[in-house]
Amino acid sequence: MGIFEALVALGFVVLFHELGHFSVAKACKIRVEVFSLGFGTKLFKKTYGGTEYAFSLIPLGGYVSLQQEGDRGYLSKPIWQKSLVLLGGPLFNFLLALILCVFLALLPQERLEPIVGQVLPNMPATNALQVGDRILALNHTPINSFEDLQKAVKNSKGLSVVLRLQRGDKTLSLPLKLKKIPTKDVFNQPTSIKVLGIKPQDKTFYFHYTPLQALEHALAQCAHLIALTYQGLLKLVEGIVPLSNVSSVVGIVGFLAKQSGLEMWLLSVGFISINLGILNLLPIPLLDGGQLVLLWVEKLSRYTFKESQIRLLNALGFAFLGALLGLGLFNDLAAMFAKPA
């Protein structure tokens, strides 16, 4: 994929976020004054149903402007509706990621056959398994692909397992003890993984998820991506992940442009959509999460923030986000112009 496609994808992710605010506001009978595709000078606009729909000069995302006062104004609505409107954008980001993951899961899935192609030395499988063995189950978990076997090994309780396999015309059950080996996680932190000590044959097959299986797979995949994003943010705050990993729009577009293949590209768009949703839930003024916190602080404390206080908080939030954007841009440009060693 190229830069243009990456820009379009990023703009669509932001636009889908705004569509969430728009849809929830409409459902709560709040008048949406403007729904714009893009930012800046309006090149085209048309009013329909009390809302001005516009196409603006910079087509990266969009924005929603809500009526504030009156019966159909945002300020006149109960706090639960205001909260839903604020949550609408991030929730739509998660929804977009789920839709993309379901779509990918419904495509034909290429998987490796669970057939032993190589037995590694000094491993649990060394003296137990043979090339050509077909793995049928690990403990009580049926194995249909080599990926299933990897997942079953990872999720097994303890190290002692029983493998059921087919060897020629025979079906065997072999007790084995998995081995733990040190490695690094996605954050380059020391960890360990359980291994059996085999490699698969280069033999693949295709299968299809049912719609329900596709939904279950997509939900698990999105939950994993959300957890991974939160872990990354936490480790960034803890200093485990360096600030040099912070990226800007330039880096995101570059990342998308480098993805090859429809599956990896759409999965990357979904991951970026999840990141945008989580970013907007952070309790930072100007962001949806910050506005949500202020909303509930006022409700629970019965204290109304003065306009000057709101402006100060927004200024601090703007400064923080500006600094974060500047850091990300610096990192991206440094990476672009860095000379290879």
Is residue 26 domain-shared with residue 116, that is, in the same domain? no
Q: Is the pLDDT of residue 305 over 70?
A: yes
pLDDT of residue 2: 66
Q: Is the pLDDT of residue 340 over 60?
A: no
Strand residue runs (E) in the chain = 32-48, 51-66, 109-112, 116-119, 134-138, 141-142, 160-167, 170-177, 179-184, 190-195, 198-200, 204-207
**Those residues with Cβ within 8 angstroms of residue 286's Cβ, 6 or more apart along the chain or in another chain:** 314, 317, 318, 321
CATH number of the domain to which 193 belongs: 2.30.42.10
Q: Is the pLDDT of residue 190 over 60?
A: yes
Number of domains in the chain: 2
Structural domain containing residue 181: 110-207
| Marked catalytic residue, from 18, 33, 216, 307 | 18
Is residue 114 domain-shared with residue 93, that is, in the same domain? no
Q: Which of these three, 207, 237, 270, is where a domain ends?
A: 207
Which residue do the tokens 């063995």 mark? 133
Dump pLDDT digits (tens) for 193-203.
999 999 999 99
18 is catalytic: yes
Q: How many helices (H) and strands (E) does the chain have?
A: 8, 12
Q: Is the pLDDT of residue 20 over 60?
A: yes
pLDDT of residue 267: 85
Mean per-residue pLDDT for 158-162? 91
Q: How confident is the model at residue 11 (pLDDT cuts 50, 70, 90)?
A: confident
pLDDT of residue 341: 44
Dump pLDDT digits (tens) for 22-62.
999 999 999 999 988 877 888 888 998 888 998 888 766 67
Q: How confident is the model at residue 1 (pLDDT cuts 50, 70, 90)?
A: low
Q: Which of these three, 207, 233, 251, is where a domain ends?
A: 207
Is residue 151 domain-shared with residue 243, that is, in the same domain? no
pLDDT of residue 251: 64
